[in-house]
Structure 1
Amino acid sequence: MPLSDVYRDAVEHLLDRVFGADRHARTAYRLREGVDAVPELSFAAVEQGTLVGSIQCWPVALAGDDGVTYPMILVGPVAVSPERQNVGIGRALMGRAIARAGEAPLMLIGDLDYYAQFGFDASRTGGWRLPGPFARERLLARGAAPDRPGMVGPHR
């Protein structure tokens, strides 16, 4: 179901449970500052009236060192209730968001071991900079993401 159909407090509670209450200090949150999630790419998994998973996607852009701006979609956070992990909810949410995104370039900060199954890799992100600390090997992209150096930030 669309994430917008779920109470915002329920989403925040799920994210706190999965990522911790200090999650707002992470670099990924700086990439989302001042922009809203893309409603048509953000979904919820609900079982018997309870939110058990969510995915949000955000408009970002690479401000290329070449002076060109390259719009992309930041995928995440992807959260699944600890009691319901490893049963395919996260994979289903990712599959739906990717299918709806079509050919749009996607990026995320995450584990290659998991996100490779969805076509993400680090082959084009080596020159990207972020507004905070991050592990280079966790900066992943798929689709037509630009293979250029530059700074990633919110796209308004």
Structure 2
Amino acid sequence: MTQMVPIDTIPDEAVERLLDRAFGCDRHARTAYRLRAGTWAIPGLSFALVEGDALLGSIQCWPVQFDGDDGTVWPLVLIGPVAIVPERQQEGLGRRLMEAALAAATGGPPLTLIGDPEYYGRFFGFDAAATGSWRLPGPVERHRLLARGVNVPAIPGVLGPRRHATAAA
């Protein structure tokens, strides 16, 4: 039976092996990794799916912030990576993880992610309407920089790590 558990109950090495399998060993060069540099995943928003002793998938959420060019600062939550072992993809496991993270994030800061706009828009209400003038610490396909939530900043500014975040978000 597949069970959802807090990710902090899973050894870090097991999560890293899963991420390598799902995204490749070169994944650390991606812009999303720069966005979460120096931070820790938010425990209450990060989950794993296990079946017996097997780790099937994980989702991690990270504290980031948007520094507007006008001097305003918004705390945000970066969702991802969402990883599923290759042999169990297309079974709805990623969707279960995403739904758990979104439910846990209700009432918190706006959410952002880098991902497929058709999928994350259709199923979870993310879009790129507010993110067109955001700058990131690396390359990104503009249409894949998505956000959702109340008060998503729709002004020019920089998205980056939020190093002084609490464990809650």
Bin the TM-score by the shorter chain: over 0.9
The residue aligned with 1:123 is 129
The letter of the residue matching 1:110 is G
The one of 143, 152, 155 equivalent to 1:148 is: 155
- 2:61 matched residue in structure 1: 57
Q: Deviations over 1:62-119 (max 9, x none)?
A: 1000101110000000001111111111001000100110132000000012111111
Q: CA deviation at 1:48?
A: 1.9
The match for 2:47 is: 43
The partner residue of 1:18 within 22, 27, 30 is: 22
Amino acid at match of 1:141: A
The Cα offsets for residues 110-155 of structure 1, whole Å up to 9 and x where unpaired, read as: 0012111111010110111100011001000011221111000001
* Matched residue type, 2:117: L
Aligned length: 156
Distance across 2 between alignment mates of 1:13 and 1:91: 21
| Aligned residue identity for 2:144 | R
- Partners of 1:114 and 1:90 lie apart in 2 by 11
Structure 2 residue runs of 5 or longer lacking an equivalent are: 164-169
Matched residues in 1 for 2:52 and 2:10: separation?
13
Q: TM-score, normalised by structure 1?
A: 0.98
Q: TM-score, normalised by structure 2?
A: 0.91
Matched residues, percent identical? 61
Deviations 1:21-69 (A, max 9, x none): 0000000000011111100000000012100000000000010001011
